[in-house]
Structure 1
Amino acid sequence: AQGLSPTPPLPTTRCALLLTCSFVCSAGSGSRRRRGINQMSSGELLEIEPVELKFPFELKKQISCSLQLSNKTDDYVAFKVKTTNPKKYCVRPNTGVVLPRSTCDIIVTMQSQKESPVDMQCKDKFLVQSVIADPGSTVKDITPEMFTKESGKTVEECRLRVLYVSPPQPPSPVPEGSEEGSSPRPSVSDNGTLNASDLLVASRSFSESQEKSPEAMALISKLTDEKNSILLQNNKLRQEMDFLRREVSKQRARGFSLTVVVLIVVSGILLGYFLKK
């Protein structure tokens, strides 16, 4: 499986095969369930959506898609994302901790490609490993040994397949005369020939409409990048706020004064405000 160690087959009584055969969840022990055919995968620790990484393939252009991990447990869950082609993809973040009953958004970016794949087929795969971590763990506490089965821990593994899809088509031009301000149609003279000046105007209008298509595609790409950046910022802000809440709880347990608690909460709000900016 291209650099990924094979996993034992799953019991057919515990997990139904997806029709696309694109996603398999495996763990050292426990049952498996499936929710939403071809939409998400549900393991014991994490719920992963979507089940396939779909990239609208375009030559010489970076393409990104998002992946969401949802922690279904009351434990801290550490995760690690690996791929069979690490030079081709950038995963942010590729390791982290999902807090209890919370989510984490991951952005997978495919580097620009110089050649089109044969028949739009892709053999690349991703592996998402997850394991229960100690309470209060952060990304700094994650070590490679946590994801080795020899350590005695149950390591849950979810394999994802990469698919290439056709890029979105630019919007079709507005039919002539359907809106005000549209280009005038070339007139026809009495002898059935087109007027030369009207033909020139129509040709110029058609050329301008063709030039707008790359601009529209550039705008779509820019908006997609901004969306990915916002998702990462929101994820970081959510983790910071959860950390502050835990700190407040600890300080209350130690008998800190109300003034100290208020100062910590205000600091958290200000931190969130500056992160959004």
Structure 2
Amino acid sequence: MCSAEPNWGRKRFRVFKSFRESGGSAQLAGGFHPITALSRDSYFLSVLTLASRSRVALAGSLLLIGGAWTILSITIAESLTPGYSVSNETISGLGSPIFSGICNAVPSCVTLIQPASAIFVFAKFLNGILWLWSGSILRSATGRRRFVLAISVVGVANILVGASYLPFYLGGTSAMVVVAAGAVHVAGAFTTFVLTPIAAISTYRFTRTPLRYFSLVLGAFVLAANFLFLTGNYFGMGRGGMERMVAYPLYLWGIGFGASITGGPEWDTQVSDATSSS
């Protein structure tokens, strides 16, 4: 059994070499497609390296930038919003007090506090676009279609959250406008808070240690925090505090996973082994 491993490594490298020399567009004999086939029994990152290093590095950078920029934007917006309570108000309240969870009067609570609102809303749009772009890149570079679809859907969900504030920027302050915007906002936020941790947990199957455990723990933590948030169990942290136990780990996972697929020793280990054994 042990002697067969080097032969498989050499065979795998030769298959990829032939595939790359052909331009990567055609299947090999018998309908065999090396990227799809090897992604089933090889590490996600190693397969991506052989397929298209630069494009996947870009995809990882987009996730990293999106997460980092969102965290910074939330912090800046909190600092620029007079009287804002991290414990009692939701993150969405930075875009408009009507979504803060403590202000429900229409139209007074629809008032936008600038520049905090613009900073936050821009961050939601930017993060959504970057995740959607990253998902599009990864879709063409790996066979992990369900995972990549989740990344893209989360991107769309973030864009929906940002779009839910646009009626207020256009002057809409009626109860009907608030209800419609709220429905879009809840749909986007709920999708993000549920689908992202599931996507993070799913990476346990095809990422390396310690990232696989990092993803598993953060994903499980977010799902648990989500349950507590939705059931009103805040453990003294308030609604805003518990919501941050959901949101911040998701941004951290996006940063960590994005950084891990931009390159580095873990990325190249299996490729180097296959090359040296040939």
TM-score for both structures, normalised by structure 2:
0.23
Q: Which has the higher helix share?
A: 2
Q: Choose between structure 1 and 2 for higher RCO, CA contacts under 8 A separated by at least 6 residues.
A: 2
Q: Which has the larger radius of gyration?
A: 1
Q: Which has the higher strand share?
A: 1
